[in-house]
């Protein structure tokens, strides 16, 4: 059975970005950040990986996993470097990055993996499952969001993990004892968030130009995130 986004090129040496999240919904900020990371790091492919059940976003208003995957598919259609992956949806349950990285490492040992995340998520990485093992499996690209203060990379690392890193010669990256790098990459500012988009939809406001047109049509057609009749 062909698995979405992953199989083609599985036996090749590729530089593959992994962009995970709830994508609730995916928006232009996600896409632009991914494009800039792809270009800067020379990636052959970026997999967008919707979480089945995000462990750090309990209680948030989520579209169904299949709806979020379909929105990602629509958003990346037409970009030959972007793919939607259902790896976490197929696994089900809470989606932990360590499980995803281990599965991809086992299935595609020739891939060089680049895990893409924001500074806010990276600053909380000590709360992730088996977080110290994550750096053994992939490079990390930490992208800064609009208005994010510039913080030296070591200060974003848990104290117990800092001893496993040293500065690269350029002073802009950290190198893990495994050889994997932590790269800080500013990206073009898009002051947009999925939370703000959902709020606009709940109040009947336009989200045009915040999400790809195909995603906007899908949300409208399926009435996702709309305030239910009688809701407070």
Dump pLDDT digits (tens) for 38-48.
999 999 999 99
The yes-or-no verdict on residue 157 having pLDDT over 70 is no
What 3 state SS string does the chain have? CCCCCCCCCCCCCCEEEEEEECCCCCCHHHHHHHHHHHHHHCCCEEEEEECCCCCCCCCCCCCCHHHHHHHHHHHHCCCCCEEECCHHHHHCCCCCHHHHHHHHHHHCCCCEEEEEEEHHHHCCHHHCCCHHHHCCCCEEEEEECCCCCCCCHHHHCCHHHHCCEEECCCCCEEEECCCCEEEEEECCCCCCCHHHHHHHHHCCCCCECCECHHHHHHHHHHCCCCCCCCCC
Q: What global pTM score does this model have?
A: 0.88
| Mean pLDDT value across residues 129-136 | 93
* Structure confidence at residue 31 (pLDDT): 97
Domains of the chain by residue range: 15-191
CA 55 to chain centre: 14
Q: Which pLDDT does position 230 carry in this prediction?
A: 42
Residue with the larger pLDDT of the pair 61 and 63? 63
Q: d(Cα 57, Cα 86) in Å, to the nearest integer? A: 19
144 token code pair:
């800064």
CA distances to 12, 36, 113, 221 from 46, rounded to whole Å, are 15, 11, 10, 28
What is the average pLDDT value for the chain, to the nearest integer?
A: 87
Q: What is the pLDDT of residues 96-121, one digit of tens each?
A: 999 999 999 999 999 999 999 998 88
- pLDDT exceeding 90 applies to what percent of the chain? 64
Q: Which residues contact 221 (CB under 8 A, 6 or more apart)?
A: none
Q: What is the pLDDT of residue 231?
A: 40
Candidates 1.10.8.80, 3.40.50.620, 3.40.50.1220, 3.40.30.10; correct CATH number of 15-191? Answer: 3.40.50.620
């Amino acid at each position: 059975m062909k698995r979405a986004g992953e199989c083609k090129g599985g036996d090749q040496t590729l530089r593959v970005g992994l962009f995970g999240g709830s994508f609730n919904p995916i928006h232009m900020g996600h896409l632009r950040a991914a494009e800039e990371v792809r270009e800067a790091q020379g990636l052959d492919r970026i997999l967008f990986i919707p979480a089945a059940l995000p462990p750090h976003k309990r209680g948030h208003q989520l579209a169904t996993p299949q709806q979020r995957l379909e929105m990602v598919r629509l958003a990346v259609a037409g970009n030959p470097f972007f793919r939607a992956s259902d790896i976490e949806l197929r696994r089900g349950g809470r989606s932990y990055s360590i499980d995803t990285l281990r599965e991809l490492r086992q299935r595609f040992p020739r891939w060089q993996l680049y895990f893409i995340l924001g500074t806010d998520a990276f600053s909380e990485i000590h709360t992730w499952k088996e977080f110290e093992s994550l750096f053994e499996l992939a490079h990390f690209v930490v992208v800064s969001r609009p208005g994010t203060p510039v913080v030296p990379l070591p200060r974003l690392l848990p104290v117990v993990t800092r001893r496993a890193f040293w500065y690269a010669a350029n002073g802009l990256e950290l190198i893990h004892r495994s050889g994997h790098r932590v790269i800080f990459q500013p990206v073009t500012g898009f002051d947009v968030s999925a939370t703000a988009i959902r709020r606009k939809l709940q109040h009947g406001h336009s989200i045009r130009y915040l999400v790809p047109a195909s995603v906007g049509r899908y949300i409208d057609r399926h009435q996702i995130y709309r305030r239910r009749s009688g809701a407070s």
